[in-house]
Structures are given as C-alpha cells and as structure tokens.
A and B are shown apart, each in its own frame.
Chain A
Amino acid sequence: MNKSKIIFATLILFLAVVVATIFLMFQGNKEENSVLKNNKEFYFATDADTEEELGENVENQLDDIDFSDLDNILNNLDDEKTDFFGGNSFLEIVTKFINAQDSEYFDNFLSYAFSILFDDIMELIPYFAIIIALCITYSLISQFSSEKNKSLGNLIYIICFSSVAVIVLKIVLQLMNDVSATISSVQSQMEIIFPIILTLMTAIGSSVTASTFQPLLAILTSGITKLFVTILVPIFIFSVVFGVIGNLSNNVRLDKFSKFFSSLFNWIVGIVFTIFIAFLTLHGLTVSSIDSISLKTAKYAIRSYVPVLGGYLSEGISVIIASSVLIKNAVGVAGLLLLFATIFSPIIKIVIVILLLKLCSAILEPLCEKQIHEFLYSIAKSLNMLTVCLIAVGLMYLISVSLLMCCSNIL
C-alpha cells in the first residue's frame, strides 16, 4: 500500500510540475510583446519560445555593438541620401534587415536615383551651354584665313581655348574633390564595419576565418585605398593636364602621353583588383569549412559527454550562434547599403559629365577647329579613370563583405 501511495504521490507531483510548466509557457507567449525594451521588435519564423530567446540574444548583442561612428557618417551624408534611408539610425537599419522589412529601401531607390540624375543634369547644363556658345562665336567671327594673319588667328584661338579649358577644369576639379572625399568616406566605413563583422565572426566561433581575413582586409582598407588616392588620382591629373597642353597649339602633340597614362592606369587597377580578389576568394572558401567542422565537433561533444543537459546546451549554442549570424549578415547588408548610397551619387555625376562632354564634342565637330573638340573628348576619356577608381574601390569592398557574410554561415 505504501509503495503505491508513494508512486501515486510522485505521479501527481510530476503532473503538477508539467501543468505548471505548460501554464508558464502560455504566460510567456502573452508577454512576448512586452519583452521588447527600446521598442525593438523581432519576428522570426519559429515558434514563440525560440523566437523570444533569439530576440533577447539579438538585442543583447546589438546593445554591445557601438554604431555611433557609422551614425556619424550617416548623418554627414547629404539630405537626399538621408531621405533614402528614411532618417533611420544605423541601428534601426540593421534591425529592419534582421526583420526582412527592407523593402522600403528598394522602393525609395528609384525616386532617389531620379532625383540625383535630374539635379545633376540641371546643374551642369549651363556650363556646357556656355562652352558651345563660346565655340560657335569663335568660329563665326575668327575667319583669319590670310597668311599674314595666322599669328593673330592663333592668338585668338589660344584665348578662346583657354576660356573653354577654364570652364571644363572647374567642373573636373569639383568632380575630383568629390571622388577623393568619397574614397576617404568609404575607407572610414570599411575601417568601422570590418572590425564589427570580424568580432561577430569570432563570437560565432569562426575564429580561423576571421584571422585569415583580417590581414587581407587590413591591406584593403589602408594599403589599397592609399594606393588609389596617392597614385591613381595623380595619374588622372596628369592625363587631364596633358590633354589641356597638348591641344593648346597645333605643334605640341601629346596624344601618346595621354594614351600612356591611361594604359598605365588600367594595368595598375587591373592587377591590384585581380590579385586582391583572387587571394580573398581562395582563402575564404577554403578556410570556412574548418570552422564549420570545428563547431559541429564541439556541439557533438557537448551533446554526447555532458550528462543531462547536453542536448539543451548544444541547442542553446545554436540559438546564440544563430542570433550572431543574423546580426552579422544584417550589419553586412546595411554596410553595403551605406556604401551604395555613398558611391552612387558621385558615379552618376561623373557619368553625366562624361556624356555631356562627348555630346558637346560631337556638336562642335562640324563647326570648329579640330583641337577644341579633341580637347573635350580627351577630358571625357580621362574622366573614365575617375569612374573606374570609384567602382573598383566599391567593388572590392562589396566582394569582401559578401565573402564575409557567406563564408561564415556555418550552421
């Protein structure tokens, strides 16, 4: 009798415990909405309990990361770009990406692109109108065809050419300053985001990947951007100056010099780009498997060798790692969005200037002397170099961040 009583009592106790846990679980469901401190809401496609735990983990980790520098960069962008971001701080952007609510950025993109395009064109057209007017007036009036008056005609040509060159060089100077500012802004973005992502990767457990990537990324941020700013931009400047001098008079021909500079530029950019990307991809792809295997080994070991709670512990590790992976990817994508917003506007501006210069050159070709439209065309070709600078830096950054995001999704 006693034995059965004891068994019955333990059974009832056990049932009570089970009922209490179930009851508490449902309580937990209702409170899920108020777990959110700081109005951050995380919705994941799992059941309520895991969702709550994941949300807490994500919040805790996000609190630890310092996004203030990135917020500074974000606030220093122009107004149009802040509209593109909807006036959010970096933290809010990351949160939106975690929740897959990022569609508003893609919707804003078209209006952003059109507004930039339109504003730039309207700003630049007066300059080109002046250039065309100058050249037409010059070709109308300066009909110095007799032999003795050639020197007079040359003098007037030089003056007309100088005034056109002044206008064009003003525009080119502004573009160059824009590009230098953009490259340094991208560099500071890289300097901030790469440590964040690398730290998150180490927290996940892919420390080997992180340590492999780190020297390459350090080379990218400091070495390569410095290379671009100190060597490639001066090459562009020389190309422009030789374009001006070479077209100033009929006798001094500097075509081959300009061609030399542009091929030098192309070779340098090509070699740096190829080597960097090759190293990055090869290392990244081979190394990430190591970390994946070591994580799986660790989880298996915990599950097998820790007596009671092994299963719970290893799944708990998975949850923590999942939250870190989410944050890492969201930070990566948000960083790329910031990069895109920074780079897009200067590139569009340069492309518009290139197209307008070529259009002017085409308009003036039947009207004027050969060298005026040759000059405009050669400046347009030199501006290609600036575009390549920006695009190369942006691409290298993009590929590095994408590799970082993909290579360490080790779950």
Chain B
Amino acid sequence: MKRMEIFKIVGIGLLTCVVATLIKQIRPEFYIVVILSGSVVILMMIVNELQVLFDYFLTIFGQTGLDYELFASILKILGVGYLTEFASGICVDSGNASIGDKIILAGKVLIVVLSLPIITSLLDIIIEILP
C-alpha cells in the first residue's frame, strides 16, 4: 500500500470510542450517532480498496470470457449480508437488540431470494449427474 491507511483507520476507530464514551456521559442521545458516523467513516475508507480488488477480479473474468453472473450475485449477497450485520451491530450497541434481530431476519430473507438461481443450478447439475 502506498499510503499507510491503517494508521488513519486505527486512529479514527480509537477516537470514535473515546468520543462515544464521553458523549454517553454528557448527552446519551448522541451516543448512537457518534458510533454510526465513526463506523461509516471507517467503511468509506475501506470501500476504495475493495473497489480495486473487485475491479481486478472482474477484469480477469472479462478477459476469460466467462459470464460473471455467478460472481456478481455472490457479491450482492455478500453485500446484503454485511450491511445487515453492520446495522444489527449498531442496534445491539445502542441496546435495541430486538430491532437488530428483525433486521437480520429481513437480511436472511433477501439473501435466500437472491440466491435462488444459484441453488437451482446446483440442484440441476446434481440431477444431471445422477443416472
């Protein structure tokens, strides 16, 4: 890595923790918002690096001429999964674990719906293999 982003990220993370604890004492309402904004900032810094990785993968697939539908749907599913976990984590942090559970349920339903084509093709291939 040309720029040592890890220092910035660690710094921001620790800063968020300190600020959040402070604000919790003074104004408990701001606690969630501080945590949320800290997480968003860290994520935004990572997203650029992930973009590089995924572009690399997609170029490979584009070169080999295979349809990368499979990889694209997996990416979507991973994105849904991670966002669900992200939101649920923040809910749990703020003490509303039940809302976090509802979010997780919604995420699971969406993931299953998104993954139907993959499961269907797997079953098709297994049926084709069996005599």
Contacts and interface: CB of A to CB of B under 8 A. Distances in A.
Interface of A: 125-127, 129-130, 133-134, 137-138, 140-142, 144, 146, 148-149, 151-153, 155-156, 159-160, 162-163, 165-167, 169-170, 172-173, 176, 234, 237, 240-241, 244
A234 B125 contact: no
Contact of A146 (B65, B89, B129): B89
A173 B128 contact: yes
Q: Is the interface of B mostly helix, strand, loop or mixed?
A: helix
24 contacts: A126-B60, A126-B61, A129-B64, A133-B60, A137-B53, A148-B88, A148-B92, A148-B101, A149-B85, A151-B108, A152-B84, A152-B85, A152-B104, A155-B111, A159-B115, A159-B119, A160-B78, A163-B74, A165-B122, A166-B118, A169-B125, A169-B129, A237-B130, A240-B129
Nearest to B100: A148
Given A151-B108, A155-B112, A134 B74 contact: yes
A408 to B, nearest CB: 41
B57 A152 contact: no
B78 A137 contact: yes
A234 B130 CA distance: 8
A168 to B, nearest CB: 10
Interface in B83-117: 84-85, 88-89, 92, 97, 100-101, 104, 107-108, 111-112, 115
The 7 closest A-B pairs by CB, nearest first: A126-B64, A159-B115, A133-B57, A169-B125, A156-B81, A141-B78, A162-B122
A137 B79 CA distance: 11
Contact of B70 (A126, A151, A166): A166
A149 B66 CA distance: 34
B41 interface: no
B77 interface: yes
B129 A237 contact: yes
B75 A162 contact: no
**Interface range on chain B: under 10, 10 to 19, 20 to 34, or 35 or more?**
35 or more
Contacts of B112: 155
B81 A142 contact: yes
Given A163-B70, A166-B121, A170-B125, 8 more contacts: A125-B64, A140-B53, A149-B104, A162-B115, A162-B119, A166-B125, A169-B122, A169-B129
B71 A142 contact: no
B1 interface: no
Given A149-B88, A155-B108, A241 B78 contact: no
B11 interface: no
Interface of B: 50, 53-54, 57, 60-61, 64-66, 68, 70-71, 73-75, 77-79, 81-82, 84-85, 88-89, 92, 97, 100-101, 104, 107-108, 111-112, 115, 118-119, 121-122, 125-126, 128-131
A130 B78 contact: no
Contacts of A151: 104, 108
Contact of B75 (A137, A148, A240, A244): A137
A127 B64 CA distance: 9
Contacts of A133: 57, 60-61, 71
Contacts of A149: 85, 88, 104
A287 B116 CA distance: 65
Nearest to A122: B64
Given A133-B57, A162-B118, A169-B129, A156 B88 contact: no
Contacts of A176: 129
